[in-house]
Amino acid sequence: MRGVRGWFRALLLALAVTLTVAAPAGGAAAEPLPGVPSTASSPSHADGEGKLSRVKVKRRVDVRTLPRPKRIAEPQEQPHLAPPKRPAPVGPQRQPSLPVTGVALTPKGAAAPKAVPSTAVIEQLKTFRTLGNADNNAAARTAPSDTQLAVGPTHIVQFVNRSGQIYDKAGHAVGSPFDLGTFFGFTANTGGDPRVLYDAGSGRFFAAYEGLLTGGDEVDVAVSATSDPRGSWSVYIAGSNTSNVQHDRPKLGYTNDKVTLTWNNYDLAVAGKPFLGEQTVVVNKADLLAGGASVALTTFAQDKNKSEVVPATSLSGINDQFAMEHDRTDVIVTTITGVPGISPVNQTENTIAIGTASAPPMAAQPPGGDATINTNEDRMLSVAWQNNHLWGLFNVKCTPIGDTAEHSCQRFVQITTGGTQNLATNLDLGLVGGDLYCGSLVLN
């Protein structure tokens, strides 16, 4: 993606779209097509255990000792690896147990269409300066940007591409920006695809990073020593290779007893960099929290039938790790049980129909740069779980209520997990006259 603009404007605008969503009593069924079964989900199947191992701590790092990011003259472009080409589904399309519902937001000052429910609210929460190329402390100007934000009890942590910064809760920078390559033990100003989360249950920050090494790749996981991110962190290698395989776009999630990482593998030694499969690694959370000399982890074999699986951030207590991916007219829910080094780790899958969910169009941009921005297809973006409700979010094409043009919208999918997994919400959120893309989920 070229000329991505806007992220380096040193400003963070936090917006919250609050949706109060209730599933119809009994679950209103979509009208089935003639001769097509109205099946909501497919039977789960066991995938068996992964490979158990222990990895030694890679390094311990104090944020206060890290160098500032290196400023470079021109933006670098990190190639976007194409999503895998999945085989066309065999047989008739299964119908969702709930039809897709449309909700639209209206820009300030515009007349709201009558069909917009009053439960859709957009709220500006906070605005403050953040990392940017306009500052002397700017990070590597890599496009597209990859902005991550985690909020703890006293501090906010921001990761953008190869740079990090800590803020207090008022939005004031605490200390200098720091280089993420150095943080994770790579060469300064290298790597990418950062992830950072705060887990209120354990009172720790967790982070992941891709090293982008020559001739191979490495994905690391890090944990803060306390709820204060300004001090010491421990870093461990979750996966690595020297076989020209890229571990692309690592994802991060957690439960009571597990921290889970997922990524896509691509073969860099072959023209076109073909997709090899999705990889899942489950780490013993107690080992991570102890910050000891080693941690136990379970690695599942790469699976070519999976792609862009996103593990859930578990916002209330649970041991099972849920994860979700989007595949055309379905979402696939993975449930991971067991603890590495303590009990066998297994995963099962459940495919749930959600109906039509087409990839979004290019999104319009403000004047002064590129006219459009690539919304990066319809992969799953964010997954969160709380109190037996699993939510997933991804970009989708829709025509918002009150609009006549197709835009990039957000599909919200809710799956109940307190027994049989069922579709409880199937909703497209659009913006009249505009585009919504690359959102993130949090539940309250």
Strands annotated E in 338-420: 346-353, 363-364, 372-373, 380-386, 389-398, 407-416
pLDDT of residue 21: 53
200 vs 365, more confident? 200
Residue 195 reports pLDDT greater than 70? yes
Residue 4 reports pLDDT greater than 50? no
pLDDT of residue 73: 56
430 vs 144, more confident? 430
Between CA 91 and CA 388 the distance in angstroms is 32
What are the φ/ψ torsions at residue 63 (nearest 5 degrees)?
Answer: -55, -35
Checking DSSP bridges between strand 51-62 and strand 142-143, what pairing results, if any? unpaired
160: which residues sit within 8 A by CB, 6+ positions away? 7, 130, 131, 139, 145, 146, 147, 148, 194
Give the range among 29-43, 154-168, 311-325, 411-425 with minimum mean pLDDT: 29-43
Give the range among 5-9, 11-15, 358-362, 420-424 with minimum mean pLDDT: 5-9
Between CA 220 and CA 59 the distance in angstroms is 11
Tens digit of pLDDT for each residue in 97-112? 999 999 998 876 665 5
Q: Across residues 217-238, what is the average pLDDT?
A: 98
Q: Across residues 49-61, what is the average pLDDT?
A: 95
pLDDT of residue 14: 45
pLDDT of residue 265: 98
Residue 62 reports pLDDT greater than 90? yes
Domains and CATH numbers, the chain: 12-18+47-431 (2.120.10)
Question: Tokens 């007349």 correspond to what residue?
Answer: 111
pLDDT of residue 23: 41
- The 3-state DSSP class for residue 285 equals helix
Q: Is 308 left (phi over 0), alpha (psi -120 to 50) or beta?
A: left
C-alpha dihedral sign at 45, 349, 278, 395: positive
Between CA 221 and CA 82 the distance in angstroms is 25
pLDDT of residue 370: 81
pLDDT band at 376 (very low <50, low <70, confident <90, very high): confident
Tens digit of pLDDT for each residue in 246-278? 999 999 999 999 999 999 999 999 999 999 999
Residue 346 reports pLDDT greater than 80? yes
pLDDT of residue 107: 72
- With 0-12 / 13-18 / 19 or more C-beta atoms within 10 angstroms meaning exposed / middle / buried, residue 20 is exposed
Q: Cα 31 to chain center, whole Å?
A: 32
% of the chain exceeding 70 in pLDDT: 80
pTM assigned to the model: 0.87
When the pLDDT of each residue in the chain is averaged and rounded to a whole number, the result is 85
